[in-house]
Structure 1
């Protein structure tokens, strides 16, 4: 199991723990076997388990204001624009992919949550964007 080296009063001791059950330890000291009974049982330490508590407020999806004439598509996370699937003047419907954003080596499809016409594209392929940066505007 485990090996230890001790030096006591200029004497060297090689100790090897062979087994450990409850409060009985079988060990070898310089090749001689011993069975040692501990006065108290050794408490086994457990590896702590980290538990993350649930968030008190639920996550909020990106909300589109249905009464507004202009909708701004913002970056949900910082990343790099891998591909741009729309251009100014394109008409899109709900669920159409507008662009692919790479963040932390993962590709994230950004899709439309509202039908409309693209009025402005503020990004280009390869551009790095910050969280909440306006990427596309549509009416």
Structure 2
């Protein structure tokens, strides 16, 4: 075993280092970190069967109870398919509510900071 002094961001630390190939050393070959992947991970694409906000007569309703974090559209605005309408926080997760098809925003029923219930109308599209 060796005692070493290591300095990290200007602060000195004394550490004890044990060599694994010395007699009396422990023999736990567990790595300290996972190896780096050989190739970067491919981006995740949304499957066509993924859940979307339910549509009732042109209305986008809240899929769950939560708090509106941001509203990204205004009344009268034209939106494209998959365009972000608003962000809803539920159970410490941010959920993006998107336009299911190209449309015009008839009315935004919520504002940032507002609590909403499951099934509550968030945005009306025409």
Q: CA deviation at 1:114?
A: 1.5
| RMSD over aligned Cα atoms | 1.9
Higher percent of residues as strand: 1
Once residues 71 and 110 of structure 2 are traced to their aligned partners in structure 1, the CA distance between those partners, rounded to angstroms, is 9
Aligned to 1:115: 102
**Runs of 4+ in structure 1 over 6 Å off:** none
Once residues 133 and 109 of structure 1 are traced to their aligned partners in structure 2, the CA distance between those partners, rounded to angstroms, is 16
Aligned to 1:100: 87
Task: Specify the structure having the higher radius of gyration (Cα).
Answer: 1
SS at match of 2:67: strand
Aligned to 1:88: 75
Q: Does the 8 A contact of 2:53 with 2:62 survive in 1?
A: no
5 Å-filtered alignment, 1:1-139, equals 62=53, 64=55, 71-139=58-126
Q: Does the 8 A contact of 1:64 with 1:114 survive in 2?
A: no
> TM-score under structure 1 normalisation?
0.51
Q: Does the 8 A contact of 1:81 with 1:102 survive in 2?
A: yes
SS at match of 2:63: coil
Provide the aligned length of Structure 1 versus Structure 2: 77
